[in-house]
Amino acid sequence: MEAAVRDGGRPVAIQADGVSKRYRLGEHRSLRLTAKRLARRVGNEDLPAFDALDGVDFTCLRGEALGIVGANGSGKSTLLQILSGTTLPTGGEMRVCGRVVPLLAVGLGFHPELTGHENVTLFATSLGIPRDAIEHRMDAVTEFAELERHMDTPVKRFSNGMISRLSFAIAMQLPADIYVFDEVLAVVDAEFQARCLAEIRGLHAAGRTVIFVSHDRDQVAEVCERVLWLEHGRLRDSGSPEAILDSYEHVSD
């Protein structure tokens, strides 16, 4: 384990070796089809497959700000889902050191009937953060979201902007080792976007690991030290933001 944890003196936060995710296509979920398949004693193996990820290797050092770019369907979100623990890979393995706080979608997961405060507690508890640590950070979450007067209001009365702000506040103010952002900044206004970017740079400066997925070239360049380029579920290239973003945009255009 020590070998995996250290790399040139800096500890490793994430080590991915041949991570693959294969989905089965087709309507194998209906009861009728399942019964048919069971009767014929066949599994899902004959269904057409789709490799969302196909043998991705990378290392992310602790404290690194790593960007991931790639076209829609290149496997970025699947990679983040596996990293966050919402789903398992079908091949390869990934070592993750420390607690991950993922922001995979904005505002989804809030319960409309619960207050802002209750939703923060619920969300953070579901990530495995101890209750006293949550309460300790509650003021920071409230302040960042600018919801001082609304934390005891049910979230169903929140505006979309308030919900987004609360999402970001949770994702940035809770104690974690690895912060994950999946194309989420697009939904907020420019001013709040700038605050979020500053906050993410602050997390990075404080030695936290940041995984940042975005379609916005400027944001990636601003936040990340190194960029991975995914294409059709494979790692096409990795390197400095300038180099990768230039060749990525060259191909996209």
Q: Which residues bind other proteins (CB under 8 A)?
A: 1-2, 5-6, 11, 23, 29-31, 34, 62-63, 81-100, 102, 104-105, 108-109, 111, 113-114, 118, 121-123, 125-128, 130-131, 154, 175-177, 206-208
Tell me whether residue 151 or residue 244 sits nearer to other proteins (CB atom). Answer: 151
CB of 175 to other proteins, least distance (A): 5
Q: What number of other Cβ atoms are within 10 A of residue 74's Cβ?
A: 21
CB of 20 to other proteins, least distance (A): 9
Tell me whether residue 2 or residue 191 sits nearer to other proteins (CB atom). Answer: 2
Residues 158 and 45: their CA atoms lie apart, in Å, by 46
Residues 210 and 20: their CA atoms lie apart, in Å, by 22
CB of 136 to other proteins, least distance (A): 12
CB of 207 to other proteins, least distance (A): 4
Encoding tokens for residue 139?
Answer: 């003021």
CB of 13 to other proteins, least distance (A): 9
Encoding tokens for residue 60?
Answer: 């992310």
CB 179 within 8 A of CB 73: no
CB of 187 to other proteins, least distance (A): 14
CB 16 within 8 A of CB 58: yes
Tell me whether residue 175 or residue 247 sits nearer to other proteins (CB atom). Answer: 175
Tell me whether residue 71 or residue 122 sits nearer to other proteins (CB atom). Answer: 122
Tell me whether residue 94 or residue 244 sits nearer to other proteins (CB atom). Answer: 94
- Which single residue is written with the structure tokens 């940035």? 172
Tell me whether residue 2 or residue 189 sits nearer to other proteins (CB atom). Answer: 2
Residues 168 and 181: their CA atoms lie apart, in Å, by 9
Encoding tokens for residue 7?
Answer: 């790399």
Encoding tokens for residue 137?
Answer: 């950070």
- DSSP H/E element including 41: none
